[in-house]
Amino acid sequence: RKEVEQDPGPFNVPEGATVAFNCTYSNSASQSFFWYRQDCRKEPKLLMSVYSSGNEDGRFTAQLNRASQYISLLIRDSKLSDSATYLCVVDMKTSYDKVIFGPGTSLSVIP
């Protein structure tokens, strides 16, 4: 089983739609969780951290379920500029940080 798994998509949604991405991780000792965004031929960039209580940043909401080892990202009112690949990231910290990326989910927002 891969350490971090995501539905690769692609997700093709119309502008204004709500879209949700899911991610599962295998190591129950994982400590920190993130969503990154990667545009075509660019480096990944932090979108948001994911906290146990869930957190929101504008149109983006992240949730963490430690019992199920599951992370989600919800995007409301999709914009054309949201088109990118969304990477689920897990820090499997033991003595040291070991940061593992999921394979990514591709999103295309269509006019």
Does residue 100 bind another protein (CB under 8 A)? yes
Min CB(109)–another protein separation in Å: 21
Half-sphere exposure at residue 65, Cβ-oriented, CA atoms within 13 angstroms: 10
**105-110 and 11-14 strand pairing:** parallel
- Its sign, for the CA torsion 72, 73, 76, 79, is negative
DSSP notation for 42-66: S--EEEEEE-TT-EEETTEEEEEET
Does residue 88 bind another protein (CB under 8 A)? no
Task: Please list every residue from 41 through 70 that binds another protein, using CB under 8 A.
Answer: 42-46, 49
Min CB(94)–another protein separation in Å: 10
> Tokens standing for 59?
């149109």
Q: Which is nearer to another protein, 31 or 65 (CB)?
A: 31
Min CB(97)–another protein separation in Å: 5
Does residue 7 bind another protein (CB under 8 A)? no
- Contacts with another protein by CB under 8 A lie at 31-32, 34, 42-46, 49, 87, 89, 91, 96-104
